[in-house]
Chains A and B, each alone.
Chain A
Amino acid sequence: MARVEYDDVSKRFPTQDRPAVDHLGLDVANGEFLVLLGPSGCGKTTALRMLAGLEYPDSGDILIDGRSVVRLEPKDRDVALVFQSYALYPHMSVRDNIQYPLRVRKQLTAMERLSKVDRVADLLGIRQLLPRRPAQLSGGEQQRVALARAIVREPRVFLMDEPLSNLDAKLRTHTRTELKALQKQLGVTTIFVTHDQAEAMTMGDRIAVLDAGKLQQLGTPDNVYQRPANLFVAQFIGSPPMNIVDARRDGGALVLTGGWRVEAPRGLAGSDGIKVGLRPESIDLERAPASGAQPAEVLVSEPLGSEVIVNVKLGDALLKIRTGPDVRPDPGTPVYLRARPGGVRVFDASSGAALN
């Protein structure tokens, strides 16, 4: 149980010319599930490793429960880390792996240790694996053992470095749900690193989006999805990502590429050189011409079972539009587009910052 704070933390590796983590500030509440999300090389793992004590920040401070930990050895921080590769000790049985962190606690008897191991093994359904060696386990089983080793300690903070990325797609979705439920049950502050935006959206209480070492946005999944702070977040989150098209202002309206006029959102700061972002589900597709609807031409329809992504050519831009499973216009079909009110996001073309 702990609150974690990153206070203006920077870290640059000697072999690189830009910082891996650049003035990062974060405040993670007690019991929160925070996801650090970003492309590879964005600094998310470095940020996590600094909290674990495996890297040292060049400047700034990291606090757990209000006390600075940057000068503490990893062993004295009371945080557990689940590695991407699981880092199970190959020369020990699963039981010894799980009780390894307990062995340094002198106040525990061997019986108490083993009963703790059994309890965690039951929680994760791996009791039958206890006598085996890590090499005899499947990837999913190894992942559970790594998790058990972290949980058995009852640490102040769980750190997870892409723990699901080595699982196959089906198991990953399943484990995602389980892990989220488990975290809520245990109530331990968790920082979870991933490059998978779907993982971030489904698991995080809040998401911190990082790019090039800088925090781009910190917010709830809804907030980050609906109101991306800049073009990077807009395009990184969502599958398919937000459609971004060039636009200019014309009085109370925005004129998009291809001459599509949409109503400007209220309170939009006047500016030239703007881009407009529309989520695939923020565009309605109509088959018949209607007033105010923009004509366009279908390039291809991609059926996904529960929904169809219709690709539409608008001027020189390609828009992806999410529709129901029954709407499958053939290539070349003329369609008519309408932007949903409230679904229009405007960005500054040069800085990328959101303007509304």
Chain B
Amino acid sequence: MVEGPGVTTRAASRVARTAAAPRGASWIEALAVHAVFVLVVVFFLVPFLWLFTAAFDADAVAYIRFPAAPTLNNFVRIFTEHDFGRALLNSVFVAGSTMVLDVIAVALAGYSLSRLEWRFKSWITYAVLLLQTMPLSATMVPIYGLARALGLRNSYAGLILIHAAIELPFLVWLMKNFFDNVPRYLEEAAWLDGRSKLRALAEIVLPVARNGIGVVAGLAFLAAWAEVLMMIILIDSQDLKTVPLAFYETLRTQGGYTEVQYGLVAAMGVLYAVPVMALFLMTRRMMVRGLVASSRGL
């Protein structure tokens, strides 16, 4: 199944090559296709290019130029003058905790939707999906009110709970599909081998669905890591500020919007983006396998 699309593409390209060769127009086609491809790639890479050049440039500007004398000064300054270490730790803690909470909740809820029999299950299953269509900005005000009433503003608990809740509907659906792809007979075999339902879930179903758990964990972490709106409305304590807030603050306070210190912002941006990219590169095989498997179930 996994190699299916690859095989078709390969077969198709072989057909295309043999069919196009006698026409003599094939290299023009190829050039056109590649030109478009390169353009698209460049379009998406340009911001990153700026980020990396500006971060090492002592007086970075709003356009791309290679630093005359590359320096780590920007990185030193964000840690010494702007307490960026604290923001990074806060972000890692919030995103990590959100991930753990989501994985536990999603494993249980997804299993229930996939395997257990209860009334109104299909209604609830679709209601969960419907929740996902709700724009976050539409629920911003009630979430703010709720967080205030419950004393969850300016607290790790509030950030973690709310971020975990925001992503929950989609992740539950995703996990349900992963569980649907785990054959029932595997856990039945575990029950007969003397396991309770919960132990069979932990020892057999979850390990077999580990790619799914990996995808859910990755997406939960990423969502909480990159989210900005909730951070802005829930946090104004300096101790609790996360990377997006530090970022935003630096952009805003350094001489208003006219005299932005691009070097500092870019250094923060690099440190914000690189860990997540590294994490993805390390787990990419699992993520890709998981995402392919999930689309099969949908």
Contact = CB atoms under 8 A, between A and B. Distances in A.
B120 to A, nearest CB: 16
Given A83-B185, A91-B208, A100 B192 contact: no
A261 to B, nearest CB: 55
Main secondary structure of the interface of B (DSSP, over half): helix
Nearest to A153: B193
Contact of B189 (A77, A87, A91, A105): A87
B59 interface: no
Contact of B207 (A80, A91, A100): A91
A232 interface: no
Contacts of B204: 89
A77 B210 CA distance: 30
A188 to B, nearest CB: 15
B196 interface: yes
Contact of B185 (A77, A87, A101, A149): A87
Nearest to A76: B194
Of A73, A74, A105, the most chain B CB neighbours within 10 A belong to: A74
Nearest to B191: A74
B186 interface: yes
A104 B192 contact: no
B189 A104 contact: no
A266 interface: no
Nearest to A149: B193
A320 to B, nearest CB: 39
Interface string A72-96: 0111010111010101011100000
B194 A104 contact: yes
Contacts of B191: 53-54, 73-75
Contacts of A80: 192
B194 A89 contact: no
Nearest to B195: A75
B192 A79 contact: yes
A319 B163 CA distance: 76
Contacts of A54: 188, 191-192
A89 B193 CA distance: 12
Given A52-B192, A90-B208, A149-B193, 5 more contacts: A54-B191, A75-B193, A90-B186, A91-B210, A100-B190
5 contacts: A81-B189, A89-B186, A90-B186, A104-B193, A105-B194
Interface of B: 183, 185-186, 188-196, 204, 207-208, 210
Interface of A: 52-54, 73-75, 77, 79-81, 83, 85, 87, 89-91, 100-101, 104-105, 149, 153
